[in-house]
Amino acid sequence: MTDVAGRTRTTGILAALSAVLIWAGWIPVTRWGVIGHLNPIDVTALRYGTSGLILLPFFWCHRHAVPWHRPGWLALIAVGAGAPYFLLFGMGLRLANSGQAAVFGPGASSVFTLLLARIWLGESITLARAMGILCTVTGFAWVAGHDVLTGGARIGGFGLILLASFAWSTFTIASRRLALPPLLTVAIVGVINAVWVWPLYVISGGPTRLAQAPLSAVLLQAGYQGILTGTLAMMAFTFAIGRLGAAGAAAFTPLTPVLASVIGWWILGDGLDLATAVGLVAVAIGVVVGGGSIPRFKAT
């Protein structure tokens, strides 16, 4: 029985790490899109249009398994990981650079999920998790405080990213609550968002803007957002939630900041100042301290 539990934890950890690796590239790739030839609405449409189209056959075949009788939790899944979340994060990335977004995005998602898991699911906040939250919040305060004191104009971007992170946390909790198969959860997010986003996008003249953008930029966002992030990473993360619990899966997400910052520096030239570096270290410590109890999670 112990071996089975160990294998369950191992597969959950591997799934969480796979999602984290994809998300590490997601922040700079998204920022590349929204500060370049596309805007957040364009990238949002590409993400859910691509993933929704790919997953539509699966969604249709399994439509009777969708928990339509639990509309509240279903809405949290569709919205928490859907277009509202993505638009908020994308708009935040137009102000905050990759390193700053990496501090506030994954870190805030972890903190919010721990708190919501305590309120909605009754999962305990151990001393280690509390210390992890404290370290992470310290990182936020350091980066935001430095921006204010130096007269920066990125505080609004930080706020948008925090709102997006809260939305993602509601998705995490709802996924845990409904305990749907990972692929069905991803299909729900992709298809439902594609159904309402694309009609509005067409009415607003979005396809005309896409036609004027370089094909390489459109294909990059469609592939990375719709296939890697919108489909594969979502499947891996939802699978991890089922194996490790909501808080356990979320505890891995702050591992993305350092990688995201390095990739952002590499492909975008985003600077990494001392305040951001301190924030990244604080978030990383928060992960190590707060994630210390992950091996003790029981499979569900």
Separation of alpha carbons 148 and 154, rounded Å:
8
Residue 234: predicted pLDDT: 80
Kindly report, residue by residue over 69-99, the tens digit of the pLDDT: 999 999 999 999 999 999 999 999 999 999 9
Task: Tell me the whole-structure pTM to 2 decimals.
Answer: 0.84
Quote the crossing angle between the two packed helices 155-178 and 127-149, to the nearest 10°.
160
Kindly report, residue by residue over 107-123, the tens digit of the pLDDT: 888 889 888 988 988 88
> In this model, does residue 264 exceed pLDDT 60?
yes
Mean pLDDT, range 103-109, rounded to an integer: 85
Separation of alpha carbons 170 and 84, rounded Å:
12
